[in-house]
Structure 1
Amino acid sequence: MTRSVPFDSTPLTAPVTRAEVKAYTAQLRREGHLGSPVLGVVILCVVGAVFLLALGPILIAVFATILDPGGPSAIVAGVLPFVIFVGIVALAVWGITRGLGGAAERRFRLARFARANGMRWLPRQPAPALPGLIFGRGSSRAASDLIRGENPRFVEIANYRYTTGSGKNRQTHRWGYVAIRLDVPLPHIVLDATGNNGLFGSNLPLSFGRDQRLSLEGDFDEHFALYCPSGYERDALYLFTPDVMARFIDNAAALDVEIVDDWLFLYAKRDLSTLDPATWAWLFTTVAALLDKLAQWARWRDERLEAVPAAGAVASGIPGAQSAGAPVLTPPPAGVAPAGRRLRRGFSWVAVVLVVAVGLYVAVTLVATVLGS
């Protein structure tokens, strides 16, 4: 995301050697970013040995019954389970090694791509401390393949996973996100993209009160549903001027957007940190287009915060100005009043309909049971 460095996607597709990948993997292990694959192989062998000890006698008896128990086949019956075990372990080790090789090459390509574009790559970040609506939910939260840039402002692009439920209802949620650090905290605003909605509406994990929906001019509403805290409508209009709206429509219409605290997030229900050059070209173009407009947001101030007296200020003596000896007030400090820091959550009408439908089904079933008896 560094403007002085031209976009270069060559490392994503250029040939690499096994020696390069192996050396980089060893470096990551030395730096503590990767564990050793030996542990996984050892665990696999231990599990296999326990399996063999538990079922080996049964398999020997089965093979001995099928084969001739009095001839040379008895030896085969005793050796065959061990041959099967060794074969299974060999296949498992081969599969693990091949998978690790592909993952290692992916890591090497992403790290080299990040360097070529003035950024850096991180393999994993458990439970990232970010305030966005997809973070802090469920369990096993982790970001992976993080690409970070610091200039002209902090930008992070990564994949994100978290799980909800348990047992058969356990579900893993997959997201890709772009996190951009802003100059000042801003009101909580969500732009729910209409182009990626599903059959039951928004794909976001939270819903917001419909009275917080703000309609903007032009065709913006065709691309985004904008939610802002009640009373902050004028502030949202200040932030989303026609030129800013045009940038979001032209570059980010396929992404959900959230402004919260001093962060701007772009969300997608798929991986964004990939080896696909087209995806990265689109992301770099999108972020660059938005960065050009974010500087004007730094001037926003929440008028609901109290202005503070300027230290050592004196009255100007201009007619209509404050009287002599009265403190001269400076603009409100950067920040957001409590009412604007978070949107108020709303009901999920899909969930309400499902609950009502289940309730009606149960009621009808009970009535039918009573009448039938």
Structure 2
Amino acid sequence: MTASPSPTGVFDPRPLTDPVDRAAVRAHAAARRERGASTGGFRMPQIVGVILAVVFAGFFVWIGATILSAVLSVFFGMGSGALTDVLLVLVGVGIPVLAIAAFVGAVVVIVYRTYFGSAARAYRLDRFAQANGMSFVGEVSAPPLPGMIFSLGRARTADDVLRGERPRWVEFGNYRYTTGSGKNSRTHRWGYVAVKLDTPLPHIVLDAVGNNGLFGSNLPQSFEKEQRLGLEGDFDRYFSLYCPTGYERDALYLFTPDVMARFIDNAAALDVEIVDDWLFLYSHRPFSTLDPATWAWLFSAVGALLDKLDQWARWRDDRLAAERAAGAAGAPAHDSLPFATPLEGLRPPPGVAAPGKRLRRRFSWLSIVAVVGLVLFWLLEVVWNAL
């Protein structure tokens, strides 16, 4: 089944690849600076990296030019006379100066092209968002989303964020966070799509089989195996589905055969998480790019899934109705309730009971073994040094 290529029903990738006017890019960057938004220029890690690269490269250029001038000085020094003296001065001074000047010029060109390229990227994404009924947000620090990747590590930042509000609130972005410190520091990068749902649903994770690594899932969290639910057909070949214990029937209600087919056909390469009233699609590849094919794929996947989300809005957690009835049974009776409605006939309110809100995470023995190993290694080192 072919779905609409974009959440808005229109897909126009031309702003991603069309030539851009430099004056328009500069005006766009200036306007974003005035609004206090990210202009797409350098960030601090990039600035530090450029400075270090310039220092090291300049040092080696100076060393190379000095060695070359010394060799040539020896060659020209074999002669005598005023011409030889002039050549010695030109070689000894001119070559290093010219080399440094050429290096500085190259650095200026590279820095300008890098900065302009980053600003042009923001300009292209902004125009692309407008052409497809969305808005370009840019950088978002610590995005307040409930997905599993958004609560880990530090320096949590979403880049190149695009948002659409029709027919449903959707956000596309690239996300990064940092774990560890010092030499063990590591930056994790994800592409994500966040879709706002009509009602809270049980916490369900679809771990895509196709993107798993040698040691299993590539997701940053693992879940107890007892929560894995096998589904009919070929679905288990593409996804491992986890749902809270006791919510198996609810998962089957949500993932009907036609819904499973949509996920297999359009999102088999993506990890999926349903949590609260959000649907997330994850991948280790960037989503917000200047590649039209990536956007066509994402729009097609989201468009295909949106067609099936309306039926999820009718889901209700029967446990909430039971909790409500139990609370009402323990409440004091009132003599004057002329319009009271029998609780048995009430539809459960939107929401999820406590047992279904979050999956139980699996305890990682591998992490404990690693920590114990490090402690033992440290103790052995201390003992060895003491001896």
Matches within 5 A, 1:78-89: 87-89=102-104
Match of 1:6 in 2: 10
Structure 1 residues 211 and 46: alpha-carbon distance in aligned structure 2, compared to 1, 3 A threshold: closer
Shift of 1:123: 1.6
Shift of 1:8: 1.3
CA contact (8 A) 1:155 1:181 kept: yes
Q: Match for 1:182 among 197, 206, 217?
A: 197
Shift of 1:262: 0.6
Structure 1 residues 232 and 328: alpha-carbon distance in aligned structure 2, compared to 1, 3 A threshold: closer
Structure with the bigger percentage of helix: 2
Q: Match for 2:158 among 143, 151, 164?
A: 143
Q: Match for 2:348 among 311, 320, 332?
A: 332
Give the TM-score normalised by the residue count of structure 2.
0.76
Q: Hey, what's the Cα distance between the residues in 2 that align with 1:50 and 1:208?
A: 47
**Corresponding position: 1:29 with 2:33:** yes
Structure 1 residues 62 and 253: alpha-carbon distance in aligned structure 2, compared to 1, 3 A threshold: closer
Match of 1:283 in 2: 298
Structure 1 residues 116 and 131: alpha-carbon distance in aligned structure 2, compared to 1, 3 A threshold: same
The amino acid of 1:199's aligned partner reads L
Q: Match for 1:343 among 352, 359, 366?
A: 359
Residues 91-100 or 9-18, more deviating: 9-18
Shift of 1:354: 6.6
Q: Hey, what's the Cα distance between the residues in 1 that align with 2:304 and 2:89?
A: 75
Match of 2:134 in 1: 119
**Unaligned 5+ residue runs, structure 1?**
52-57, 317-321
Shift of 1:4: 5.4
CA contact (8 A) 1:2 1:118 kept: no
Match of 1:97 in 2: 112
Match of 1:163 in 2: 178
Q: Hey, what's the Cα distance between the residues in 1 that align with 2:209 and 2:48?
A: 47
Residues 17-26 or 132-141, more deviating: 17-26
Structure 1 residues 36 and 137: alpha-carbon distance in aligned structure 2, compared to 1, 3 A threshold: closer
Q: Hey, what's the Cα distance between the residues in 1 that align with 2:153 and 2:43?
A: 28
Q: Hey, what's the Cα distance between the residues in 1 that align with 2:170 and 2:230?
A: 29
CA contact (8 A) 1:186 1:262 kept: yes
1:225-264 CA-to-partner distances (Å, cap 9, x unmatched) read 0001111111111111111111111111110000001100
Q: Match for 1:302 among 306, 314, 317?
A: 317
Q: Hey, what's the Cα distance between the residues in 2 that align with 1:42 and 1:346?
A: 40
Q: Hey, what's the Cα distance between the residues in 2 that align with 1:99 and 1:159?
A: 19
Q: Hey, what's the Cα distance between the residues in 1 that align with 2:272 and 2:41?
A: 39
CA contact (8 A) 1:2 1:119 kept: no
CA contact (8 A) 2:271 2:282 kept: yes
1:285-322 CA-to-partner distances (Å, cap 9, x unmatched) read 1111111111111111111113468x977479xxxxx6
Structure 1 residues 302 and 221: alpha-carbon distance in aligned structure 2, compared to 1, 3 A threshold: same
Structure 1 residues 279 and 43: alpha-carbon distance in aligned structure 2, compared to 1, 3 A threshold: closer
**Corresponding position: 1:233 with 2:216:** no
Q: Hey, what's the Cα distance between the residues in 1 that align with 2:50 and 2:138?
A: 27
Give the TM-score normalised by the residue count of structure 1.
0.79
Q: Hey, what's the Cα distance between the residues in 1 that align with 2:133 and 2:120?
A: 20
1:320-370 CA-to-partner distances (Å, cap 9, x unmatched) read xx6xxxx675222111111111111113466578779x69x98xx99xx9x
Match of 1:202 in 2: 217
**Unaligned 5+ residue runs, structure 2?**
57-62, 75-84, 329-335
The amino acid of 2:359's aligned partner reads L
1:1-59 CA-to-partner distances (Å, cap 9, x unmatched) read 875552111222222222332222222222222469799999999999999xxxxxx99
Structure 1 residues 50 and 117: alpha-carbon distance in aligned structure 2, compared to 1, 3 A threshold: closer
Q: SS of the counterpart of 1:282?
A: helix
Structure number with the bigger relative contact order (C-alpha 8 A, sep ≥ 6) is 2
Match of 2:21 in 1: 17
CA contact (8 A) 1:314 1:328 kept: no
Q: SS of the counterpart of 2:319?
A: coil
Q: Hey, what's the Cα distance between the residues in 1 that align with 2:231 and 2:43?
A: 57
Q: SS of the counterpart of 1:226?
A: strand
CA contact (8 A) 2:69 2:95 kept: no
Q: Hey, what's the Cα distance between the residues in 2 that align with 1:93 and 1:179?
A: 39
- The number of residue pairs the alignment matches comes to 350
